[in-house]
Structure 1
């Protein structure tokens, strides 16, 4: 999750994130409260067709204001609770009929990497043929799209690994103070390798699978609200930001610093172009995605997972920069007030609405997709 405001748990306790009329009605029949697996079942091998990866929940896992995880538990549903040792959240949920497993890793790349590694090494699961669907919320570049949308990522770019010169000391001819950690100039040429001892800068997800997921969901109508209309109306000069929410496809930049503002957005757009050799387009900004890809890539070396069976979906809860005529600090203050962040509930719902279509398709057509990845030529 990439947020630029107060902690969601604090907002929940303050009553600022109560469900609004804009919250989408459940697409699935209501489910009974999740039940705990018996000790015998919990220790036995469980088949997993799809792993749904979310990062956080607010308060309880069911029955209150939803975070990224709750809709999956209640609506999909994931009806059985399983212990999740070695993870921040402590429990996972499972649908035994469709053999879908859901996990909340905890926010941030450290939680993501450790939780994914713990899951993949868990002897209860064989994940060699499993699909992984990361479904979370994010910030959005108003030059790409608008709040309440859902975006499938062809690439994940590392926005947290760089050299940085203090803004007061940046050379006059530099666009910003960021350079590759393997270089000394923003436009270091030749571009350093994407994977090195210094770290991993870009992961390209399976293009066929990502395109298949996008085509399967692009026609969905996503929830809108009067609050979202009011927010996006301020972004005059950004045509994509003025449109209603929709399903799109675009790259995500992943970093642990919750940056804000037009100048930082300019850097992020440049950083995506630089590391993708001008092929990438910045769409969303999130925290955990680079760690998600790293964990899968490393465990793939041991043959435990197939990273070609992974997709990243980010729904957009907030813009990553201020509207024309506003300041970055003013924008942050407004978003942190109880009048801000009105796209939170719609974005949480959009992540489930769009992601569940893909998860259900993979799980229900398992005889085909166990052997052949969708979108394969």
Structure 2
């Protein structure tokens, strides 16, 4: 009888030990956050997540996280990712739910915020991928109708109290690593995008896609037109940031959520430009917002592929050199 009892106890302890091992949180090395997927995660038209999924999580199980927009995927190398949802509230709520979930240990994790964006034709073109050096919240402050102010003057004024979260400067060393590791990436382009660029007289707009660095402007409003584009640049200068390079909807908000728990030193953000933030000289802003069939920019499929092509070298390098990276970002590589 005692032998049977001892055997049962031993079996129970073994099961408990195995259960404890299974319940250990996943040690996240890099988390990749995208904002939307068009259909399935693989096998159809790619949105922001599909190329990442096909690269890292084809064989991964989907883990539902309460409060998150979509399941989280992780591979055996500690690379995890999820679709966070579009807009500041949507994406930041998902990020917080994932960060606080006990299935994951983010104590040494790096973050790569990814997605599509718009760009001013004076600084970028369709297919570009821009590393974010600064992230600015476009919505925090005071605005008024242009006719209610001085003619030609800005219609935005910062409001006191938002200083700690309206602007984030990302770690320059991590940005430099991202740029360095993606400097030789061969970016994709399309005939449709090449043709569409020629509608704009700007040299930057007509250029072939490239990797850039600059300010990401986060706003829930899809602002369009030269006036609001100029206002975004005004805000970047007002806050002492780099030139406004892309407009998107989530980066600053996601960064604020991560900052409260883990700081900002390990956050990188990349955005691929799929549209210009204003019309060409021969169309009005409303015509640009509602193009006729066949009049869209093109290049979307190539741009979402470019985003993964540019960001993956940093993800892979961090994982393969984890002993060097786990305690913090190494000194930035020297320019050749």
Check whether TM > 0.5.
Answer: yes
Q: Is the Cα–Cα contact under 8 Å of residues 176 and 332 in structure 2 kept in the other structure?
A: no
Q: CA distance change for structure 1 residues 254 and 248 in 2, over 3 Å: closer, same or farther? A: same
Note if 1:84 corresponds to 2:64: yes
* Bigger-Rg structure (1/2): 2
Q: CA distance change for structure 1 residues 226 and 355 in 2, over 3 Å: closer, same or farther? A: same
Note if 1:321 corresponds to 2:268: no
Aligned to 2:229: 265
161-170 vs 143-152, greater mean Cα deviation: 161-170
2:125 to 126, 146, 158: 146
2:190 to 225, 229, 250: 225
Q: CA distance change for structure 1 residues 297 and 165 in 2, over 3 Å: closer, same or farther? A: same
Aligned to 2:205: 241
- In 2, the alpha carbon distance for the partners of 1:256 and 1:80 equals 32
2:265 to 308, 311, 316: 308
2:111 to 132, 135, 138: 132
Q: Is the Cα–Cα contact under 8 Å of residues 84 and 119 in structure 1 kept in the other structure?
A: no
- Point out the structure with the larger helix share: 2
* 1:41-56 mapped onto 2 (5 Å cutoff): 43-56=23-36
Aligned to 1:25: none
Which ranges in structure 1 are unaligned for 5 or more consecutive residues?
1-38, 183-191, 300-304
- In 1, the alpha carbon distance for the partners of 2:144 and 2:263 equals 38
Q: CA distance change for structure 1 residues 141 and 40 in 2, over 3 Å: closer, same or farther? A: farther
Aligned to 1:19: none
Q: Is the Cα–Cα contact under 8 Å of residues 152 and 311 in structure 1 kept in the other structure?
A: yes
Shift of 1:42: 7.6
Q: After TM superposition, which residue ranges in structure 1, 4 or more long, deviate above 6 angstroms?
A: 39-42
- In 1, the alpha carbon distance for the partners of 2:211 and 2:331 equals 18
Note if 1:256 corresponds to 2:212: no
Aligned to 1:297: 259
Aligned to 2:10: none
Shift of 1:88: 4.5
1:177 to 152, 155, 160: 155
Q: Is the Cα–Cα contact under 8 Å of residues 125 and 276 in structure 2 kept in the other structure?
A: yes
Once the two structures are superposed, residues 243-268 of structure 1 have per-residue CA deviations (whole angstroms, 9 ceiling, x without a partner) of: 10011111111010011111111111
Q: CA distance change for structure 1 residues 153 and 248 in 2, over 3 Å: closer, same or farther? A: same
Q: Is the Cα–Cα contact under 8 Å of residues 115 and 271 in structure 2 kept in the other structure?
A: yes
Once the two structures are superposed, residues 179-238 of structure 1 have per-residue CA deviations (whole angstroms, 9 ceiling, x without a partner) of: 2133xxxxxxxxx8722xxxx2210000111111111112212001111111111111x1
- In 1, the alpha carbon distance for the partners of 2:58 and 2:153 equals 48
- In 2, the alpha carbon distance for the partners of 1:349 and 1:61 equals 14
Shift of 1:78: 4.7
Aligned length: 315
Q: Is the Cα–Cα contact under 8 Å of residues 78 and 93 in structure 1 kept in the other structure?
A: no
Backbone CA RMSD of aligned residues:
2.0
2:139 to 136, 140, 160: 160
Shift of 1:86: 2.9
Shift of 1:87: 4.0
Aligned to 2:48: 68
